[in-house]
């Protein structure tokens, strides 16, 4: 197809350049003796009303026909794509405004807009070009908006936001390359349509003005006598179709090759990754502290409160598990901590400290930078956490390049070091790969390598092993453990898999109905849990040491009210221990033993060894 396109476009280019030189003179020479002739040996397409040779005019007008169509399409596409792509990276209100503006423009038919602006700008080729650009921009904006919307909520965009990339970088690196293929196709196809519209404008007397002429004008002149001499009208029509098909095929060829050259090449010199300096938590121990974190979300005509007063703290090098059934608010808690809540969601807190900085008092830019360099996220689905259009190299290196100004060569070498750390062989070949060329396990290892690139103080891993098989799960857990051991990185490990959490974490936070109902050392989970929900959760997993199939644990009974307005305990309806007080007063977390807190008015007694009565004192 490439060869065919090359031949077609080459012939058009030759005609465009050589046409005026070779046939320009014949095209403009009137011949009163040969007015309005049909096709003859001397004039294969006949002559016009001044006796000028129509074939010469057709060939000589290649350039003035193609140039305005290409120029109008490029101008319109540039304006429309910029407008549409902005919607993927701006905030909620600006996005709605931009959307409304595009809708307004689209409310008018493109041809009407083109005619209106052509009349406004004045009849002539230049006016027609601008008019057509204005007319086709909204279509490109809508297309880009739709394509970009598909990208905006993806994990790789969230991941890129976690890295704190600026809007223009998000736009250029992640949104545009991802939507480039259909856009390129549409731009080139639109050149063909632009040719037709320009012909229409010329036909209406709003395009090329005599004595200049283009295929559109020749077509309209030919149409006047199409019933007696069809060739003078058919020939410019064929020229328009030929050029249109050439551009359409060009679109397809370009679309196939567009994403192959997105990433730069890397250099050879190895260099150790420098550790970022100058970040110190206020308490040397705590990386993150949050108190009474709440998240409210609009859901239809009401507001839901999926997170209702979460307090937690993570020490340097500590691995803390966050467990709870589906919908308990684990992911929203993580997203609120990373300042990545979806549009419309609102987070509030009493205190929120990250690396010694009061997050609430930072400016937006400072907050993004602090979170981007100090925190990394590993998502559940490694397939969607990467931008499929970009090479692994680009995705691994862009954060250090953006935040630390690391030169590309050095960033690439850091990426190689990180890939070796996560035990991925053939790391140079891997850097040149695209995400779809890797297996699920490889992708998750690359995700951990990417998370380690900035040497973050905290990694939030949101169900990083759920989509993987058991063997790969173990390898990924080993990597997370190594990350925490080697770099003293704190890890918040979100999972349904309480057996895995009990096995790998230091502490476990049990979430229910948007609150943390119990916090205890992981080794105490099997026999030391005191909250009825934790006990039921543990009981729902038959054996904490058994092999896991990734099925989330289930607890019988209705889930808590999503609105979160009931005053009592969220576990009330499912609790076998409930008392009258539980319905009217939410339980406050109470310290039962060092490192063990329970939010329950009537915590269960400790499970006793077989043959002995249950006791409350054993632990304390
Ligand atoms: N963007 C959103 N808009 C409306 N409701 C949402 C949104 N995101 C989450 N929710 C709701 O908030 C509640 C908590 O969601 P969240 O994803 O934090 O739960 P989770 O504990 O992480 O669940 P899972 O383990 O299934 O991921 C759920 O009821 C969910 O339906």
Neighbours of 13 (CB within 10 A): 13
Residues 377-430 have pLDDT tens digits of 888 877 777 888 788 998 889 888 888 888 999 999 999 988 888 877 788 888
Q: What does the pLDDT read at residue 562?
A: 67
Averaged over 299-308, what is the pLDDT? 86
Distance 332 CA to ligand 1 centre (A): 6
Q: What is the pTM of this model?
A: 0.61
Residues 519-542 have pLDDT tens digits of 999 999 888 899 999 988 888 775
Query: Which of 97-111, 175-189, 254-268, 430-444 has the highest average model confidence (pLDDT)?
Result: 430-444
pLDDT at 23 > cutoff 70: yes
Give the number of the atom of ligand 1 that is nearest the alpha carbon of residue 552: 25
pLDDT at 348 > cutoff 90: yes
601 vs 252: which has the higher pLDDT:
601
pLDDT at 309 > cutoff 70: yes
- Residue 271 near residue 415, CB atoms below 8 Å: no
Which ipTM score applies to this complex?
Answer: 0.96
Residue 311's pLDDT band (cuts 50, 70, 90): very high
Q: What does the pLDDT read at residue 517?
A: 94
pLDDT at 295 > cutoff 90: yes
Q: What does the pLDDT read at residue 286?
A: 86
Task: Compute the Cα dihedral for 395, 401, 407, 410 and give only its sign.
Answer: negative
pLDDT at 170 > cutoff 80: no
DSSP codes of every residue in 205-242: TSSS-TTS--HHHHHHHHHTTTTT--HHHHHHHHHHHH
Ligand 1 contact, 324 CB (< 6 A): yes
Residue 296's pLDDT band (cuts 50, 70, 90): very high
Residue ranges of domains in the chain, CATH in brackets: 67-259 (1.10.3720.10), 496-620 (3.40.50.300)
Instruction: Pick the residue whose CA is nearest to atom 4 on ligand 1.
Output: 299
Q: What does the pLDDT read at residue 139?
A: 87
Ligand 1 contact, 557 CB (< 6 A): no
Give the number of the atom of ligand 1 that is nearest the alpha carbon of residue 335: 18
For a substitution probing ligand 1, which of 329, 495, 563, 570 has the most ligand atoms within 8 Å of its CB? 329
Distance 379 CA to ligand 1 centre (A): 15
Question: At 590, is the secondary structure helix, strand, or coil?
Answer: strand
Question: At 21, is the secondary structure helix, strand, or coil?
Answer: helix
Residue 9's pLDDT band (cuts 50, 70, 90): very high
Distance 514 CA to ligand 1 centre (A): 10
Ligand 1 contact, 299 CB (< 6 A): yes
> What's the mean pLDDT when you consider all of the chain?
82
**Which of 70-84, 224-238, 264-278, 332-346 shows the lowest mean pLDDT across its residues?**
264-278
Averaged over 163-179, what is the pLDDT? 72
Helices within 433-469 (DSSP H only): 440-452
Give the number of the atom of ligand 1 that is nearest the alpha carbon of residue 342: 1
Rounded to an integer, what distance in angstroms lies between the CA atom of residue 589 and that of residue 510? 12
Ligand 1 contact, 306 CB (< 6 A): yes
DSSP codes of every residue in 529-569: --SHHHHHHHHHSS-TTS----PPP--SSPPPPTT---SS-
Residue 553's pLDDT band (cuts 50, 70, 90): low
Instruction: Pick the residue whose CA is nearest to atom 26 on ligand 1.
Output: 326
């Amino acid at each position: 197809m490439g060869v065919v396109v090359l031949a077609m476009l080459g012939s058009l280019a030759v005609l465009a350049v050589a046409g005026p030189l070779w046939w320009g003179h014949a095209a403009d020479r009137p011949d009163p003796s040969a007015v309005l002739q049909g096709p003859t040996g001397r004039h294969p397409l006949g002559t016009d009303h001044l006796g000028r040779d129509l074939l010469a005019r057709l060939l000589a007008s290649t350039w003035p026909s193609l140039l305005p169509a290409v120029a109008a399409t490029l101008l319109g596409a540039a304006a429309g794509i910029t407008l549409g792509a902005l919607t993927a990276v701006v905030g909620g209100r600006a996005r709605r405004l931009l959307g409304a503006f595009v809708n307004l423009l689209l409310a008018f038919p493109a041809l009407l807009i083109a005619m209106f602006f052509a009349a406004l700008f004045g009849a002539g080729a230049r006016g027609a070009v601008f008019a057509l650009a204005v007319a086709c921009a909204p279509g490109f904006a809508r297309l880009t908006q739709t394509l970009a919307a598909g990208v905006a909520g993806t994990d790789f965009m969230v991941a890129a936001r976690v890295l704190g990339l600026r809007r223009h970088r998000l736009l250029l690196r992640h949104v545009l390359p991802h939507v480039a293929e259909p856009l390129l196709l549409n731009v080139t196809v639109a050149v063909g349509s632009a040719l037709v519209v320009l012909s229409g404008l010329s036909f209406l007397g709003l395009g090329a003005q005599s004595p200049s002429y283009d295929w559109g004008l020749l077509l309209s002149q030919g149409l006047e006598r199409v019933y007696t001499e069809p060739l003078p009208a058919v020939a410019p029509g064929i020229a328009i179709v030929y050029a249109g098909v050439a551009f359409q095929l060009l679109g397809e060829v370009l679309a196939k090759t567009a994403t192959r050259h997105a990433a730069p090449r890397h250099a050879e010199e190895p260099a150790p990754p420098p550790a970022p300096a100058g970040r110190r938590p206020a308490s040397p121990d705590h990386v993150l502290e949050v108190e009474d974190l709440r998240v409210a979300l609009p859901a239809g005509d009401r507001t839901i409160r999926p997170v209702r007063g979460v307090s937690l703290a993570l020490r340097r090098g500590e691995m803390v598990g966050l467990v709870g059934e589906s919908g308990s608010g684990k992911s929203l808690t993580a997203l609120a901590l990373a300042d990545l809540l979806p549009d419309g969601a609102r987070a509030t807190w009493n205190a929120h400290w990250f690396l010694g900085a009061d997050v609430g008092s930072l400016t937006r830019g400072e907050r993004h930078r602090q979170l981007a360099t100090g925190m990394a996220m590993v998502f559940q689905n490694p397939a969607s956490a990467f931008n499929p259009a970009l090479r692994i190299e680009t995705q691994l290196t862009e954060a250090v390049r953006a935040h630390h100004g690391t030169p590309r060569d050095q960033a690439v070498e850091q990426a190689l070091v990180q890939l070796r750390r996560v035990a991925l062989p053939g790391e140079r070949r891997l850097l040149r790969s695209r995400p779809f060329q890797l297996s699920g396990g490889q992708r998750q290892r690359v995700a951990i390598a990417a998370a380690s690139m900035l040497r973050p103080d905290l990694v939030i891993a949101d169900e990083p092993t759920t989509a993987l098989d058991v063997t790969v799960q173990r390898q990924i857990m080993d990597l997370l453990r190594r990350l925490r051991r080697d770099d003293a990185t704190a890890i918040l490990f979100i999972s349904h898999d309480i057996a895995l959490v009990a096995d790998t974490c230091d502490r476990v936070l049990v979430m229910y109905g948007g609150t943390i109902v119990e916090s205890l050392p992981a080794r105490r989970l099997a026999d030391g849990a005191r909250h009825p929900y934790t006990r039921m959760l543990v009981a729902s997993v038959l054996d904490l040491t058994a092999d896991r199939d990734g099925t989330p644990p289930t607890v019988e009974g209705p889930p808590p009210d999503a609105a979160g307005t009931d005053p009592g305990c969220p576990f009330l309806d499912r609790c076998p221990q409930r008392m009258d007080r539980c319905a009217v007063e939410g339980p406050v977390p109470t310290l039962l033993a060092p490192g063990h807190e329970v939010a329950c008015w009537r915590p269960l007694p400790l499970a006793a060894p077989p043959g002995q009565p249950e006791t409350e004192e054993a632990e304390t």
